[in-house]
Amino acid sequence: MTQHELIVKYLRDFGSITTYEAFKDLGITKLGTRISEMRKIGFEFSDEWVDDVNRYGDYVRYKRYRLVKSSFIKSVTKKHRKPIKKEKKTFWQRLWGL
């Protein structure tokens, strides 16, 4: 499975994910980067900042991501575009704008 697929599966199973959970449970070290890549190809995520206290009593802040829309939409980059086949027009069709 790709990291993107792992993230989608985790979100469907547990509803949300943080960077720590991604690292601990999936071995993904750059969750923010993977989310950004997935947004570019059509996935929609909501995110919220979570304020917490770590084991040393220090204030920490991190993001929790949730999947909003999971339908895959191909990006419109040149890499994914398929060339449009044009029908050849006859001289008369071109002349008359048909």
pLDDT tens-digit map of 47-88: 999 999 999 999 999 999 999 976 554 443 444 455 555 666
Decide: helix, strand or coil at residue 68: strand
Query: Degrees (nearest 5) of the Cα angle 19, 70, 2?
Result: 55
Structural domains of the chain sorted by starting position, each given as residue range(s) with its CATH number in brackets? 3-73 (1.10.10)
**Looking at residue 91, what is its pLDDT?**
63
Query: Does 72 or 28 have the greater pLDDT score?
Result: 28
pLDDT at 73: 45
CA-based end-to-end distance of the chain: 50
Per-residue confidence band for 2, with pLDDT thresholds at 50, 70 and 90: very high
Check: CB of residue 44 under 8 Å from CB of residue 69. yes
Higher per-residue confidence, 91 vs 59: 59
Report how far Cα 16 is from the mean position of its chain's Cα atoms. Answer: 14
Q: Using alpha carbons, select from 21, 23, 47 the residue that is nearest to residue 35.
A: 47
The predicted structure's pLDDT at residue 61 = 96
